[in-house]
Amino acid sequence: MPKQLLALAGRPILAHSVGAIASSPDVTDLVVALPPDLASTPPTYLSTTGKPLTVVAGGQRRRDSVANAFAAVAGRADIVLIHDAARPLVSHDVIRRTIEAAAATGAAIAALRVSDTVKQVDDERRVTATLPRERIYLAQTPQAFRVDVLRAALLLGGDATDEAALAERAGHRVMVVDGDVRNMKITTPDDLVIAERLMSGASGVTLRIGNGYDLHRLVNGRPLILGGVHIPFDRGLDGHSDADAVCHAVTDAVLGACGAGDIGRHFPDTDPAWKDANSLVLLHRAAAIVREQRFDIVNVDVVVIAQQPKLAPHASAMGANVAAALGIDAGQVSVKGKTNEGVDSMGTGASIAVHAVALLNRVG
């Protein structure tokens, strides 16, 4: 598996990296270069960034992938920011510094000043020189370029470990701005462990739990829709929208976990705009609100309480629909049905109720 797809704090590294860039107020559009097989069916979380995003197929080399992505930029940008998918902890401050320096000078990279003494060695690891560490920096990403500078750099032949090296060869001055030690590149299993700890923060794990609940009466003349699935039954749930209690409970859970209110605040039943609305659309919008608050959705657990009909045959489809609306993988959503053993309105078949729990993780 590509390392960018490995799980970090419950979500793929790629999801964290794209989310960090997309949430920057200095970024307007994104282009993501993926391996060709993945680019043909991109992960669903790339559709929930809240900003225009284009997926392109990458190439054999880094510069080929960058060139393919740059071709998709067309004339839409003055500054292009390039970032490694394996750096999920980049901050808004680093992004802003890099963009501002590139706008002023043409090209800029984030980098860390070396604090250790730097030795140069030969093929047998014998020291041949001690380098002045005051002038040694370790390059990170993002790297930012004016469009004309990056175009000239990519037109050069040969290969390079980053675009800044190509810009240097093309005769352009590349400026360095302060990077961030947290902006590490995940390369080894140990790096993954360190990144997990950094995401947890010094004061403890930054996880938030939200609880959602919804109940609707079963009535004649309405379709039964749960988790976006039309379930064959002689009655449906009564409500202003499509009365999808699964989506409504999950919406309350994710909004509550990040302190953003509830479904009634954002989609009131007094607003005719939501009359007979598809609740998966409302859930998708709620997920965008969650990400605007700088949270990732780690997982969602749903319990549907209904005496009838049998829900087990539809549970997987409901989970997949909910996951797609939230922009997470299907494996991060669990949906299960329970009866109420003949007790209360659920047990007598007069209503259906749903409980949902969502776990969120603070990004950055």
CATH code of the domain containing 298: 3.30.1330.50
Residues 219 and 195 in one domain: no
Return the pLDDT at 357.
97
Joined together, the tokens standing for residue 133 give: 């560490």
Residues 236 and 187 in one domain: no
Residues 173 and 320 in one domain: no
Q: Which of 200, 222, 253 is a domain's end point?
A: 200
Kindly state whether residue 132 falls inside one of the protein's structural domains. Answer: no
Kindly state whether residue 93 falls inside one of the protein's structural domains. Answer: yes
Kindly state whether residue 250 falls inside one of the protein's structural domains. Answer: yes
- E strands in the chain: 7-8, 11-12, 30-34, 53-57, 79-82, 107-113, 118-121, 127-131, 137-146, 175-178, 207-219, 224-226, 229-231, 236-237, 295-305, 333-338, 351-362
Number of domains comprising the chain: 2
Return the pLDDT at 201.
61
Kindly state whether residue 34 falls inside one of the protein's structural domains. Answer: yes
What are the b/e assignments for 62-80, b being 16+ CB within 10 Å?
bbebbbbbbeeeeeebebb
Residues 295 and 246 in one domain: yes
Q: Which of 163, 183, 200 is a domain's end point?
A: 200
Residues 45 and 176 in one domain: yes
Kindly state whether residue 301 falls inside one of the protein's structural domains. Answer: yes
Q: Which of 185, 209, 199 is nearest to 364 (CA)?
A: 199
CATH code of the domain containing 193: 3.90.550.10
Return the pLDDT at 223.
95
Residues 357 and 295 in one domain: yes
Residues 240 and 287 in one domain: yes
Residues 265 and 291 in one domain: yes
Q: What are the C-alpha distances in Å from 43 to residues 24, 36, 271?
A: 21, 13, 33
Contact 322, 246 (CB under 8 A): yes
Return the pLDDT at 205.
53
Joined together, the tokens standing for residue 161 give: 């470990």
pTM of this structure: 0.65
Kindly state whether residue 162 falls inside one of the protein's structural domains. Answer: yes
Residues 178 and 219 in one domain: no
Kindly state whether residue 123 falls inside one of the protein's structural domains. Answer: no
Return the pLDDT at 364.
56
Return the pLDDT at 196.
83
Kindly state whether residue 256 falls inside one of the protein's structural domains. Answer: yes
Residues 176 and 284 in one domain: no
Q: Which domain holds residue 316?
A: 207-362
Residues 249 and 355 in one domain: yes
Q: Which of 178, 200, 222 is a domain's end point?
A: 200
Residues 184 and 311 in one domain: no
Return the pLDDT at 203.
43
Walk along the chain (364 residues) and give the pLDDT tens digit of each residue: 788 888 888 789 999 999 999 999 999 999 999 999 999 999 888 888 888 999 999 998 888 999 999 999 967 789 999 999 999 999 999 999 999 999 999 999 999 999 999 999 999 999 999 999 888 999 999 999 999 999 999 988 777 888 999 999 999 999 999 999 999 999 998 998 888 888 766 444 578 999 999 999 999 999 999 999 999 999 999 998 999 999 999 999 999 999 999 998 999 888 888 888 999 999 999 999 998 888 889 999 999 999 999 999 999 999 999 999 999 988 899 999 999 998 999 989 999 999 999 999 877 5
